[in-house]
Copies of this chain bind each other. A is one copy, B any other.
Amino acid sequence: MRPLNTKSKEEILTIAIPLFAGSGYSGVSMRAIALKVGVSAAALYHHFPDKQTLYLAAMAQAFVDKADSLEEILSSRVAPEKRLAQFITCLCELVHKDNDFSMLIQREMMDGDESRLQLLASEVYHSLFQGVTELCQELDPKHDPYLLAISIIGSVMYHFQTAAIRPYLPHSKEQHSDPQVVARHVTNFVLQGLKTG
């Protein structure tokens, strides 16, 4: 059925994902993808009708199932404080391990049109966000759950968004790139704020 040298759609997308994550849609040419895959550029058109379709398929594959471990934590029945700590730790490890994932999310939020934002929302954010807002309401019903959820997620994500510029900032140390160190700090920060217990 399939010759040994044949590349499947999934293989192509798996190779395209880090390329798009690193250079964005217009920064990656069909020829560049083909080169990495090890086929001619024309071969890509056997699997995808055009570049946009290939890109959208790559996004769909990059996003699918990524938030599963987070949702599992959010739907567990442990105490809210502990659930929050587990969520933050898991999110830290996810974005630290899979840098492409967070880069793609960032690029999509900047460049995505309406339909692409809807894909991102339904595939990544929606169920995750639902869980976080529910957790927020358990933790402190006085806060606006939307605003609180964004603040919490943002205070995690920004540590990894700024990773590239960290070497040039004052007070930065090597340990600040350790997801466990970040997780411990953010958990503490979110739960206690600056109120010195």
By a beta-carbon cutoff of 8 Å, the part of chain A in contact with chain B is 23-27, 103, 106-107, 109-112, 117-118, 120-122, 125-126, 129-130, 133, 139-140, 142-159, 161-162, 164-165, 168-173, 176, 181-182, 185-186, 188-197
Among A142, A168, A172, A173, residue most surrounded by chain B Cβ atoms (within 10 Å): A168
Q: Separation in Å of the A94 CB from the closest CB of chain B?
A: 16
Among A121, A149, A158, residue most surrounded by chain B Cβ atoms (within 10 Å): A158
Determine whether the beta carbon of A185 is less than 8 Å from that of B139. no
**Given A126-B170, A176-B147, A196 and B142 contact (CB-CB distance below 8 Å):** yes
Of the A-B pairs whose beta carbons lie under 8 Å apart in the complex, a sample of 7, sorted by A's number, is A24-B111, A125-B169, A126-B168, A150-B162, A151-B189, A154-B154, A192-B193
Extra contacts besides A106-B106, A129-B169, A152-B155 (8): CB < 8 Å: A106-B110, A130-B170, A146-B172, A149-B171, A150-B155, A150-B162, A158-B158, A192-B195
Q: Which residues of B contact A157 (CB under 8 A)?
A: 154, 158
Q: Which residues of B contact A152 (CB under 8 A)?
A: 155
Q: Separation in Å of the A70 CB from the closest CB of chain B?
A: 15
Q: Which residues of B contact A154 (CB under 8 A)?
A: 154-159, 161-162
Determine whether the beta carbon of A185 is less than 8 Å from that of B26. no
Determine whether the beta carbon of B109 is less than 8 Å from that of A162. yes
Determine whether the beta carbon of A148 is less than 8 Å from that of B189. yes
What is the bound-complex CA distance between A173 and B133, given in angstroms? 14
Q: Separation in Å of the A20 CB from the closest CB of chain B?
A: 12
What is the bound-complex CA distance between A3 and B161, given in angstroms? 45
Contact of A151 among B118, B155, B171, B191 (CB under 8 A): B155
Determine whether the beta carbon of A165 is less than 8 Å from that of B121. yes
Instruction: Enumerate the 7 nearest inter-chain pairs by beta-carbon distance, A residue then B residue, closest first.
Output: A154-B158, A193-B193, A121-B168, A146-B171, A151-B155, A155-B155, A147-B185
